[in-house]
Amino acid sequence: MVSACVHHLRPECLNSGFQEGEQKFGSFTAYEKQALGLDSKDVRDLKRDLLVG
C-alpha cells in the first residue's frame, strides 16, 4: 500500500495520512503545528496557493 501511495494520490492514501496525524498528535491541526512546524499563516498561505476551487 505504501508504494502505491507514493506514486498516486488516491483517497485511501490521503485518508490514511490524515488518520495517522490525528492518532499521533490528537488532531490534524496539531500535526501541522508540531510535526511540520507550521503556524496559522503558513497553513492559510498553503491553502491559498495549492487548493483549487
Would you list the DSSP string of 22-45? HHHHSSHHHHHHHTT---HHHHHH
Q: Kindly state the cell numbers that stand for 35.
A: 510535526
Q: Could you read off the pLDDT of 5-49 as tens digits, one per residue?
A: 555 678 888 888 889 889 999 998 999 999 999 999 999 999 999
pLDDT for 5:
57
- Flag whether pLDDT at 52 surpasses 90: no
Say whether pTM exceeds 0.85: no
| pLDDT of res. 32 | 92
